[in-house]
Amino acid sequence: MTAPTETPVARSAQGTDGRRVTIGAFAYFEGRIVPSGAANVSIATHALNYGTAIFEGIRAYRQDDGSLAILFALEHYRRLLRNGRLVRAAVPETAEDLVEITRDLLRRNGESADLYVRPLLYKSAQTVRLQLSGLDDRIAIYSFPLGDYVSTEGLRVAVSAWQRVNDNAMPARGKITGSYVNACLAVEDAKSAGYGEAIMLNRDGHVAEASSANLFLVTERAIATPPLSEDVLPGITRDAVIELARNEGFEVVERVIDRTELYTADEVFLTGTGVQIAAIASVDDRPVGEDGKTPVTTHLQERYFAAVRGREERYRHWLTAV
């Protein structure tokens, strides 16, 4: 890793919740850790012109002893490289290399707060050609402090008029940057109508997921979530919550979910790196459940938040020390 030659300064950028955040002083860019102010692409970059990048969102949580640990580091980088195949992207870094680079980056940034890490696998070629193969690809990684992305205690959501991208148009499983215009459109409408988040239906009219989180519903303590073939992102938190819920004795099924089940469920919650586990208080202004209580969601939140802070021996393997 080449040592940076100038004094790094933290850089301002827009955070995932719309507020300005401060990017760590260093970023990984073009094969090296550099001051983040030097991590800039040309305006002719293919990924900037056509949305041909794959991204990830990773959290690093402060542990009780003050150290920082990355949650599901290897799983995120494996998904990034696997999804890269969708846009025919290939880079020399392996998933294991990227975990080490991220540990190095976070150590250099020396933050003390919980962090969000944003890796990008992007078509770095400077060309306007509409093609995927034969173009250069690069990895960029930056980080910034991030607390709760949305309230974890009761979101008001609305079913969006925007349909979730489908596998034959823009693979929903891909985390392809260009396809997040779909999510932006849905969130934009939901927020301007006074809701906290949008729920998106797929081309068949079934529940897919939220703009950037998977969806679960609870009916008489049985938990259901749409299968991956319903145009949902194969969420890493989704997998973790399924594992956690089964370990806690809940039945979890993956099945098609109709829109109106959101109105009749006892509990609805979202999962994702950003949202963590977030309870939904109402869908289309209909309160979820009968009494506003969310015992299953609350139980899973407690176990999940303990696990990500390293307080659950059973889930220590979720974490990679920085």
Ligand X SMILES: Cc1ncc(COP(=O)(O)O)c(C=O)c1O
* Residues contributing to the site for ligand X (CB under 6 A): 57, 209, 212-214, 233, 235-238, 271-273
Which three-class secondary structure state does DSSP give residue 186?
A: helix
In angstroms, rounded to a whole number, what is the distance separating the alpha carbons of residues 75 and 282?
Answer: 32
Degrees to nearest 5, angle at CA 164 with 162 and 169: 115
Smallest distance, Å, CB 292 to ligand X? 25
Q: What tokens were used for 70?
A: 């990355």
User: Is 175 noted as a catalytic residue in this protein?
Assistant: yes
Cβ atoms of 200 and 164 closer than 8 Å: yes
Based on CB atoms, which residue is closest to ligand X, 59 or 108? Answer: 59
Report the nearest approach of ligand X to the CB of residue 316 (Å): 19
Q: Which residue, 209 or 267, is less far from ligand X as judged by CB?
A: 209
Tokens, residue 226: 């749409």
Catalytic residue among 123, 175, 191, 293: 175
Of 35 and 301, CB closest to ligand X? 301
Least CB distance to ligand X at residue 125 (A) = 25
Nearer to ligand X, 50 or 72 (CB): 72
CB of 267 to ligand X, least distance (A): 19
Specify the residue, 9 or 184, whose C-beta has the smaller distance to ligand X.
184
Per DSSP, the three-state class of 216 is: strand
Q: How far is the CB of 237 from ligand X (least distance, A)?
A: 3
Distance CA 186, CA 103 (A): 34
Measured from the CB of residue 207, what is the shortest distance to ligand X in angstroms? 13
Nearer to ligand X, 36 or 83 (CB): 83
**CB of 108 or CB of 273, closer to ligand X:** 273
Which residues, in sequence order, are bridge partners of residue 215?
Answer: 270
Q: Measuring CA to CA, which residue among 19, 297, 286 is closest to residue 150?
A: 19
* Cβ 92 to ligand X shortest distance, Å: 24
The number of CA neighbours under 13 Å toward the Cβ of 175 is: 27
List the catalytic residues.
175
